[in-house]
């Protein structure tokens, strides 16, 4: 089968598939015992920077489950480390940036990097995974969207209200626009490097963009996400994902993407109706539902598939990443349920 006919790539082009393809954000990660075992031997950043080990982690979920895609094991913050901001993943605390950007001067001091030179280990991981996958399923590459990466650079870590980010945006829009411009260039090179190394689709994670009003999204974010998506090599589907985006979906679509990623807060049918028929959608089971019993999971899967109503262009996923304490057998059950309940040849 030509690689472009794999179900996930057909769905991204809104072509019919025999069943709804499914993959999961954070499908490689701490809920998997084989991931935790490897993590005993590597710090998180070292794991990302070791191509053989990162390729092993990328392949762990696709070896265990009949998933319809692999996602590169890396992190959205890898690109900021060579920019000289001091990135660290402290155990249990998530990412920390030691010298966050709070002023125009801070933005000007950011190291201007060539992502293709600065992140060779990522491209090497892609090449290893592609060899190993041998056209069985496509490999998805990814990057953080400019807003979400900027939010980490400005906050210095996770945030609840994004106050430092908004303060920079509102008080010094020139600095904000300069920062976003830098991130567009670096991220475009980074994703095009992944595409040259062999990824067959890319996901842009704008995970925290739901913190913004629709007006602020249009002024401070949309032009940059659009410039980034337009700078990507043609022919590779782009999945544009964010959370808390109910008010932003039409603007995110305007920024671009072949597939719009939906979180669990929106009704998939209504969201797709608002977006219109010219775009595919991905989503959108609440990751917490995987804590429930399989019978309950099945009801929820059925409800999402009913909202997609068998229209071509639905990629099943969670509304955000797999949670750490998710039972592995519930993930296995979910993937089987999606395939079985969506199958055109079997019972609907």
Q: Which residues bind ligand CP3 (CB under 6 A)?
A: 25-30, 39, 44, 71, 73, 75-77, 89, 94-95, 142, 158, 205, 207, 321
Residues 6 or more apart from 306 whose CB is under 8 A from it?
Answer: none
Residue 30 is among the residues annotated as catalytic for this protein: yes
Q: Which 3 state secondary structure label does DSSP give 2?
A: coil
Nearer to ligand CP3, 258 or 263 (CB): 263
Residue 152 is among the residues annotated as catalytic for this protein: yes
Which tokens sit at 41? 């031997």
Nearer to ligand CP3, 30 or 311 (CB): 30
Catalytic residue (choose from 30, 226, 300, 302): 30
Closest residue to ligand CP3 using C-beta atoms: 207
Least separation in angstroms between residue 139's CB and ligand CP3 is 11
Catalytic residue (choose from 39, 218, 226, 311): 39
- In Å, how far are 23, 45, 46, 142 from 42, measured between CA atoms? 26, 8, 6, 22
Q: Which 3 state secondary structure label does DSSP give 237?
A: coil
Least separation in angstroms between residue 320's CB and ligand CP3 is 6
Q: What single-letter DSSP state applies at residue 246?
A: T
Nearer to ligand CP3, 95 or 257 (CB): 95
Least separation in angstroms between residue 44's CB and ligand CP3 is 5
**Residue 129's closest CA among 203, 66, 75, 60?**
60
* Separation between Cα atoms, residue 234 and residue 259, nearest integer Å: 15
Nearer to ligand CP3, 5 or 46 (CB): 46
Catalytic residue (choose from 35, 68, 75, 130): 75
* Separation between Cα atoms, residue 240 and residue 207, nearest integer Å: 10
Overall residue count recorded for the chain in this entry: 348
Catalytic residue (choose from 31, 35, 152, 224): 152
Question: Would you name the residues annotated as active-site residues?
Answer: 26, 30, 39, 75, 152
């Amino acid at each position: 089968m030509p690689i472009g006919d794999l179900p996930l790539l057909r769905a991204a082009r809104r072509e019919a598939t025999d069943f709804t393809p499914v993959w999961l954000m954070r499908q490689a990660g701490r809920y998997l015992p084989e991931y935790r075992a490897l993590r005993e031997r590597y710090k998180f950043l070292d794991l990302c920077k070791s191509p053989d080990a990162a390729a092993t982690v990328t392949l762990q979920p696709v070896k265990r489950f009949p998933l319809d895609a692999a996602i590169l094991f890396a992190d959205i913050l890898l690109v900021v480390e060579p920019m000289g901001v001091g990135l660290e993943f402290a155990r249990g605390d998530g990412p920390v940036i030691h010298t966050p950007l709070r002023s125009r001067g801070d933005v000007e001091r950011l190291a201007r990097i060539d992502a293709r030179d600065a992140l060779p280990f990522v491209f090497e991981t892609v090449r290893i995974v592609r060899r190993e996958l041998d056209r069985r399923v496509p490999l998805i590459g990814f990057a953080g969207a400019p807003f979400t990466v900027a939010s980490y650079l400005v906050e210095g870590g996770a945030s609840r209200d994004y106050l430092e980010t908004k303060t920079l945006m509102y008080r010094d829009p020139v600095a904000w626009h300069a920062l976003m411009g830098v991130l567009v260039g670096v991220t475009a090179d980074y994703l095009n490097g992944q595409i040259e190394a062999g990824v067959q689709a890319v996901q842009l994670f704008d995970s925290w963009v739901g913190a913004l009003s629709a007006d602020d999204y249009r002024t401070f974010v949309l032009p940059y996400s659009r410039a980034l998506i337009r700078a990507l090599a043609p022919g590779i589907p782009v999945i544009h994902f964010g959370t808390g985006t109910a008010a932003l979906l039409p603007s995110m679509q305007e920024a671009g993407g072949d597939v719009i990623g939906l979180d669990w807060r929106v009704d998939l049918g209504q969201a797709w109706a608002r977006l219109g028929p010219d775009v595919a959608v991905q989503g959108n089971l609440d990751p917490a539902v995987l804590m429930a019993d399989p019978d309950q999971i099945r009801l929820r899967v059925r409800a999402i598939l009913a909202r997609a109503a068998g229209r071509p262009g639905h990629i099943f996923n969670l509304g955000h990443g797999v949670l750490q304490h998710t039972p592995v057998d519930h993930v296995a059950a979910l993937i089987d349920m999606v395939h079985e309940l969506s199958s055109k040849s079997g019972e609907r």
